A and B are shown apart, each in its own frame.
Chain A
């Protein structure tokens, strides 16, 4: 690899820190006598440590100011960091969640000791006892049920890979649920991959060179994948690139865009077809790319021939002239034009077609992996610690048939992906009898009520988490994990501020594990030892294990800290499809998915109408839930910067700021909110600050209403999700809107859980209807 371009690793920021401790202290010491312990004078700042933020798992680099007792006092971003800055020579920061890690590390609401279930009750025990209890229970489970009936389920654990390797290759568990689908953006990711763009690539616009950005069902100024995205998007706009946000909600990104197209939910597919109609009609598409690198253009052209902006205006609620202008602007800027999309077009069965129509636009204008278009990321590899030590994996799961995925599974989607919503049924049927959750909580993700019931029926349930929840309280073994500041971190990319460059970032623990907790890697090491696999896990601690991953680069975590936690390495170019083909395994990008006709046959059968292989308009409710007279509002939801998730409890500071953002901080309520347009609110006698019940055909929950002009009438936006019953919020305040989702409401192709539901909203206690 090319070495870091940073030489001695001393930056303006690190210089400032070291000198601040000495020089300024003389002048200021004593000014704040009597301040609380986290609030000492500059003279009290005894040292600097490092970290890589894990609040939304994007590894933004951090400097941690420590006091003399080794307590973390302040957190700061790192200049030039690939995730926390806009790139070389730019300022690094931390977002509000990142800054809240101080509160997270020292929160008294943490799980403070390992727990095991004895005679039906959870009891705090030592780590040794917890490991040996878990080892015995795993052994009993294997004898009684067989490991085929055990499911491991991971969210964003920091030892994710190692925990899965242990359970799969040493214990023999064949069932592993990956993170992104079925809870993230499956309805966009699967068509994106089948067409050849690659599921995740719909997010990454090459901001430094772009001239036109369609922010389509995503809010990168708030829900960024690392702060670099927000910074580079603002920079692109200030440099003159046009930013258009297509969203039913006036998001932070919409507020800062050149244009907001407030689209009716689930009509994005119509807008995309009309844009294609204009682009083809005006001859603005990339003829050479279409000719040489795509398949199915004729079917696409025919499909959009009558899909005029006027036709789309009726479906979307948008102005036909605006549709025309945006189509022309986007196509003229291409290939330096990109689309960034995500969950907004990824969480309804209807989006399987809507997303296809949107992704097709990138092929039409040839904006795939070209400067200023949608990026295909490269990067840099890390070592395999087992290989470094010459340890062969026993591959214990080989030949064991997974229950939850693959062909023939009753609980898998059409393409064999595990369907989270079907696991409660698998538990009821006795096909799944044991589970492990690592920073994962299915209850706020779908079929909430069914999950709560099913968890109680498991024979054996292990969880690794940092905070208590109703889910954790159901477990037989609870391993409390240390939070980010208390453990070493290592990661690589990929997506980040450096155009066409990969990076590695890492740091050692900044503070000791609080209470009786351990880093995830050390939990796996302890469990492996207790289960008789100690020889294959020879590392003494997490840092030693991670350093083996860095070995091929001749680096250690300590070395990385000397370079401000990161190195930039591994260069890659554009138009990688020329040599490597597309993400569908073909040499061509597919507008028409006729080679996957079987999926469409299945969908047609389910919908009772023909779902075609080429881009096509389907009315909302064709595959997903219908909005009707009884349930007249479309529920959508959003993950704001303050969101809560397994392991990522929303802390008091972000909750306070969320309430302030809603202008409802005076209310004695710190849950989530449902946003309503005044037209919908007035009809129901609802005002901002009222507690309301949202109800679907399947269930209901209660939360606070926020009335705003910044939302399309007919839409109810739950912001953010992840609160209420079964969530990781300590008091379960707020509403869990996935109690409204029925187990059969998911995308049959990807397994993605449906979050676009027809609902009614009424003031709690009132009779609005």
Chain B
């Protein structure tokens, strides 16, 4: 696992600006519209004035045991042993959308041709690119994923999992290690966290 790459996300520093989404589109030549390799979700809970809202930047989680890979009848999706990145071979993709149904995170996206495209952790630029790219750790100057490179709040990082674990809290490390699917280290930012805000009004 030490060679595997992934993402680290700290919701307490995500300002919901979507720079990640647009940096991703710029890099991969994906125009504005329904195809989003990376998106920012907002989760609101409670009622005014006791209301909380958090932002979550979401893309392909590069799952440890990727459900999209398992359901793909064309063998077009691969979880790479070398660097843990889940890639799609668009030459093999038949556009059946099984991967879209199987993925719990909404990561697979479909263009006008109906073919799948999604985050490749910036192995290379463009839909379907990087299938045959050398492992991230063997590249001399691997591309830093554009989303992490332009994250204004410094909430999103990408790199070898072992480096990312170093910056994570113990809770986040444990969650990551115990989760047999999600390959993203997520810093806690829910209720009871240090930065969960309190609201103050007269009743």
Task: Enumerate chain A interface residues (CB-CB to B < 8 A).
Answer: 16, 19-20, 23-24, 27-28, 31-32, 35-36, 38-42, 73-77, 91, 93-96, 98-100, 102-103, 221-222, 227, 230-231, 234, 237-238, 250, 252, 254-262, 313-314, 317-322, 641, 652-657, 660-661, 663, 677-679, 708-713
- List 12 interface pairs A-B (beta carbons < 8 Å), by A numbering: A19-B140, A39-B126, A41-B124, A93-B150, A221-B15, A222-B16, A222-B17, A234-B15, A259-B198, A262-B201, A678-B47, A710-B51
A75 cross-chain contacts in B, Cβ below 8 A: 26
Interface string of B38-52 (1 = CB under 8 A from A): 011010101111011
On whether the beta carbons of A260 and B199 are closer than 8 Å, the reply is yes
A257 cross-chain contacts in B, Cβ below 8 A: 197
B196 to chain A, nearest CB (A): 9
- Interface residue tally on B, bucketed by range: 35 or more
On whether the beta carbons of A661 and B153 are closer than 8 Å, the reply is no
On whether the beta carbons of B125 and A41 are closer than 8 Å, the reply is yes
On whether the beta carbons of A262 and B49 are closer than 8 Å, the reply is yes
Given contacts A35-B126, A42-B124, 16 further A-B contacts (CB under 8 A): A24-B140, A27-B133, A28-B130, A31-B133, A32-B125, A95-B152, A96-B17, A252-B16, A256-B13, A260-B200, A313-B202, A318-B201, A322-B201, A660-B39, A708-B44, A710-B44
On whether the beta carbons of A222 and B15 are closer than 8 Å, the reply is yes
Partner-contacting stretch, out of B76-84, B141-149, B159-167: B141-149
| Given the contacts A31-B132, A31-B133, A653 and B53 also touching, CB distance less than 8 Å | no
B44 cross-chain contacts in A, Cβ below 8 A: 708-710
| Given the contacts A221-B15, A262-B199, A42 and B143 also touching, CB distance less than 8 Å | yes
B19 on interface, CB distance cutoff 8 Å: yes
B49 to chain A, nearest CB (A): 5
Partner-contacting stretch, out of B28-36, B62-70, B94-102, B170-178: B28-36
Taking a contact as CB atoms closer than 8 A, the residue among A77, A261, A313 that contacts B150 in the complex is A77
A238 cross-chain contacts in B, Cβ below 8 A: 12-13
On whether the beta carbons of A709 and B150 are closer than 8 Å, the reply is no
B2 on interface, CB distance cutoff 8 Å: no
B195 on interface, CB distance cutoff 8 Å: yes
On whether the beta carbons of B198 and A258 are closer than 8 Å, the reply is yes
B13 cross-chain contacts in A, Cβ below 8 A: 234, 238, 256
Residue of B46, B139, B199 with highest tally of chain A CB at under 10 A: B199
On whether the beta carbons of A96 and B48 are closer than 8 Å, the reply is no
Cα–Cα distance between A16 and B143 once the two chains are bound (Å): 9
B152 to chain A, nearest CB (A): 5
On whether the beta carbons of B134 and A27 are closer than 8 Å, the reply is yes
On whether the beta carbons of A319 and B27 are closer than 8 Å, the reply is no
A654 cross-chain contacts in B, Cβ below 8 A: 18, 22
B154 on interface, CB distance cutoff 8 Å: yes
- Cβ-closest chain B residue relative to A220: B15
Interface string of B91-133 (1 = CB under 8 A from A): 0000000000000000000000000000000001111111111
On whether the beta carbons of B53 and A93 are closer than 8 Å, the reply is no
B21 on interface, CB distance cutoff 8 Å: yes
A668 to chain B, nearest CB (A): 12
